[in-house]
Each structure stands twice: as structure tokens, then as C-alpha cells.
């Protein structure tokens, strides 16, 4: 399997896969060099009994389905708690992992019917963006009822209050929680995009977006540079 990262800290471990079908202009992960690993080697690394939770992300893990499924099944047999982060491009595969994965993290970038906004963010022409959004929509449908965290990277000028309202309506009943992440608050996650070179929006703006979303999704986590808060159904 081809990875861009394999690490453990305390009881948590991370396995980060190489390659992604999207081309987001701010992505730091698609520019990283790959390292070749055997699944058995990765499993041995994670077999450490102190590791309880394994986060699998990347770039996009489902691009290497055979190796990913093998890894997931072996981790499950070791009773590890598995979180799988995906851009939602392979709903059929993701459906097959229900019962193995404890939590899905699915990134939503703009409203699911806004081709222009998504196309700009994912760096694909409109027709390929349409296909990606169709897959993402089907993923949210097949994982309905599962533990699904929708992850939103709030990029100033793109993720506006109007668009958050649309996203809220579209993911209502399909997400257990939303994680609102302030763009560029973690340099490991984002490269500058257009003229955006510093963390934003402000904490106040992020909290306002969370208050909007909590009308649609039971729990919202907001995190940015120097702040973190949570909102639940009561707001």
C-alpha cells in the first residue's frame, strides 16, 4: 500500500493514504511523497496494545480499496476503534465497511448542488465535479444512521452563512455531528489559497456559523487557532 503517513501518539494512531481523485488548490497532502508499506507491516505497527483508536485518512483511503479493506478487517479483529475519513467518492465501498468502521468523517466543501463553488475548491472541471458530488450525496445516503461526522473546512469567501444554511438543510438527518474547521488554523492541513494566507474567518464568525448549523445537526464542534467550542441541540 502507498502511504503518506503512519504514526502513533499515546492510544491514538494515524494511517494516511497516498493519492486523491480531487485536486484542491489548498491541499498539503496531495503534494507529499509516498512510502510503500505492506499491509502486514502496518498491522504489526498498530498491534501495539496501547493503541486503541486508529484514524485512517490521507489524501483519500478508498483509492486503494483492496489494501484498505484488508487493513480494516484486520484492525477490527484486533478490536481497534476505527475512524475513516473520506471525500465520499466511493459510496459502494463505504457501504461495505459498515459494521467495521465506528466513525466516518466525510468532508463537505460547499452546498451539494453548488457546482461552481465545489469546482473551484476541488480543482476539477464542472462535469467531474458533478460526478464527485453525486458520489458524495450517495455516500451520505448509504451511511445514514451511522456515526457520521461532516467535516467542513470554512474557507473565507466560499463557506458563507448562506451556503452554511444550504449545507445544513442538505445534511440534516444524515450527519451525527459537524466539525467546523477554521481555514489555515493548522499549517499541516492547508496551504495558502488565492489571496488567503492567514487563519480565517474570525472566532465570532465561526461561532455564528455553528449556531446556524445546530438547527439542523445535533452537535457542532468549532475549532480554530486559539479557540474551540461545542454546541448541541439546545444551542
Question: Residue numbers of the site for ligand SF4 (CB under 6 A)?
Answer: 20, 22-24, 27, 29-30, 59-60, 87
CB of 40 to ligand SF4, least distance (A): 26
Partners of residue 150 on adjacent β-strands:
106, 178
Rounded to the nearest 5°, which phi and psi values hold at 133? -70, -35
CB of 78 to ligand SF4, least distance (A): 27
Of 235, 228, 225, the closest CA to residue 186 belongs to 225
**Closer Cβ to ligand SF4, 85 or 231, answer by number:** 85
Residue 157 CB coordination number (10 Å): 12
Question: How far apart are the C-alpha atoms of 51 and 8, rounded to whole Å?
Answer: 8
**Closer Cβ to ligand SF4, 23 or 225, answer by number:** 23
DSSP string, 112-157: TT-HHHHHHHHT--HHHHHHHHHHHHHHHHHTTTS-EEEEEEE-TT
**Closer Cβ to ligand SF4, 105 or 214, answer by number:** 105
**What is the Cα Rg of the chain in Å?**
17
Question: How far apart are the C-alpha atoms of 2 and 36, rounded to whole Å?
Answer: 5
CB of 73 to ligand SF4, least distance (A): 24
Cis peptide upstream of residue 201 (ω within 30 degrees of 0):
yes
CB of 67 to ligand SF4, least distance (A): 17
**Closer Cβ to ligand SF4, 28 or 96, answer by number:** 28
CB of 7 to ligand SF4, least distance (A): 17
**Closer Cβ to ligand SF4, 60 or 67, answer by number:** 60
| N-to-C CA span, the chain | 43
Question: How far apart are the C-alpha atoms of 49 and 58, rounded to whole Å?
Answer: 24
**Closer Cβ to ligand SF4, 59 or 110, answer by number:** 59
CB of 39 to ligand SF4, least distance (A): 21
Amino acid at each position: 500500500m502507498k502511504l503518506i503517513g503512519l504514526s502513533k501518539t499515546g492510544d491514538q494512531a494515524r494511517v494516511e493514504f497516498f493519492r486523491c481523485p480531487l485536486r484542491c488548490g489548498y491541499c498539503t497532502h496531495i503534494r507529499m511523497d509516498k512510502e510503500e508499506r505492506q499491509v502486514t507491516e502496518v498491522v504489526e505497527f498498530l498491534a501495539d496494545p496501547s493503541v486503541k483508536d486508529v484514524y485512517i485518512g490521507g489524501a483519500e483511503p478508498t483509492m486503494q480499496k483492496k489494501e484498505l479493506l484488508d487493513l480494516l478487517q484486520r484492525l477490527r479483529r484486533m478490536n481497534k476503534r476505527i475512524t475513516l475519513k473520506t471525500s465520499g467518492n466511493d459510496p459502494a465501498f463505504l457501504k461495505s465497511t459498515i459494521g467495521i468502521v465506528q466513525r466516518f468523517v466525510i468532508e463537505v466543501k460547499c452546498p451539494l448542488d453548488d457546482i461552481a463553488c465545489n469546482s473551484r475548491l476541488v480543482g476539477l472541471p464542472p462535469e467531474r465535479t458533478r460526478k464527485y458530488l453525486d458520489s458524495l450525496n450517495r455516500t451520505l445516503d448509504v451511511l445514514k444512521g451511522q456515526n457520521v461526522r461532516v467535516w467542513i473546512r470554512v474557507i473565507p469567501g466560499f463557506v458563507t452563512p448562506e451556503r452554511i444554511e444550504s449545507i445544513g438543510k442538505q445534511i440534516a438527518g444524515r450527519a451525527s455531528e459537524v466539525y467546523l474547521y477554521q481555514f489555515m488554523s493548522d499549517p499541516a492541513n492547508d496551504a495558502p489559497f488565492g489571496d488567503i494566507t492567514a487563519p480565517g474567518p474570525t472566532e465570532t464568525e465561526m461561532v455564528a456559523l455553528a449556531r446556524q448549523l445546530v438547527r439542523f445537526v445535533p452537535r457542532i464542534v468549532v475549532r480554530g487557532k486559539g479557540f474551540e467550542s461545542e454546541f448541541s441541540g439546545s444551542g
